[in-house]
Amino acid sequence: MGVSAQEDLYKEATQTYGATLQRLARAYESDPDKRRDLLQDIHLALWLSLEKYEARCSLRTWVYRVAHNTATSHVIRQHRTNSRELFSLEQIEAMPDGVNPARDAGDRMAIERLFELIHQLKPLERDVMLLYLEDLDAATIAEITGISAVHVRVQIHRIKVILTRRFHKGGHS
């Protein structure tokens, strides 16, 4: 692929998905400095990847995969050294009310509570949740993540239950 075509694709990708990438970086890294580095890494990976872009999948799927996979690498790197435990949706759903830190933050903004929940999740479940919040359908989420559409729907159902329960009891209206 020529450099100008790569540039055009990159511009198109950042114009269309720039805000999504920022939200994703925020969902994967709470520290502002590290988040900036992560966002740079995502843009760099996207730029390098577009050199080999083939129209076998849509630009959207391509961008989401690069972004989510780069962010996953970041999480694994961080998780190797820090002691913070990550949970699956099933584990979060089963957590008793008393040990749920998000529940106690009743007066905080809804978005902050959403981030608190997202930062607790394991990478794959985090991917599904973010893609759901970006309003992608189950089939597209399945294509990006490699998880079957049936299982994606199961995950989305869990996500909805968890969100509804937490937001309702957390005082959001």
Rounded to whole angstroms, the Cα distance separating 173 from 41 reads: 37
CA distance 42 to 14: 11
CA 84, CA 78: separation in Å to the nearest integer?
9
> Chain-centre distance of CA 41, in angstroms?
15
Q: Min. distance of Cβ 18 from another protein in angstroms?
A: 5
Kindly state whether residue 119 participates in binding another protein, applying the rule CB under 8 A: no
**Two tokens, residue 145:** 């993540």
28 binds another protein (CB under 8 A): no
Task: Choose, by CB under 8 A, the member of 48, 97, 104, 171 that binds another protein.
Answer: 48
Of residues 5 through 24, those in contact with another protein by CB under 8 A are: 7, 10-11, 14, 18-19, 22-23
CA nearest 117: which of 74, 154, 165? 165
Token code pair at residue 103: 């529940």
Phi, psi of 121 (to 5 degrees): -80, 150
Structure tokens of 30?
A: 């709470």
CA distance 151 to 56: 24
User: Judged by CB, which is closer to another protein: 48, or 101?
Assistant: 48
CA 161 to centroid of chain Cα atoms: 18
Q: Which of 38, 92, 102, 114 binds another protein (CB under 8 A)?
A: 114
Contact pick of 17, 38, 68, 92 for another protein (by CB under 8 A): 68
What's the closest the beta carbon of residue 170 comes to another protein, in angstroms?
10
In this structure, the chain runs to a length of 173
Which structure tokens are listed for 154? 């199961």
**Among 102, 120, 127, 140, interactor with another protein by CB under 8 A:** 127
**Comparison of 47 and 105: residue with beta carbon closer to another protein:** 47
Binding site for another protein (CB under 8 A): 7, 10-11, 14, 18-19, 22-23, 26, 36, 39-40, 43-49, 51-53, 62, 65-66, 68-70, 72-73, 76-77, 79-81, 88, 110-111, 114, 122-124, 127, 132-135, 138, 143-148, 150-151, 153-154, 156-158, 160-161, 163-164, 167-168, 172-173
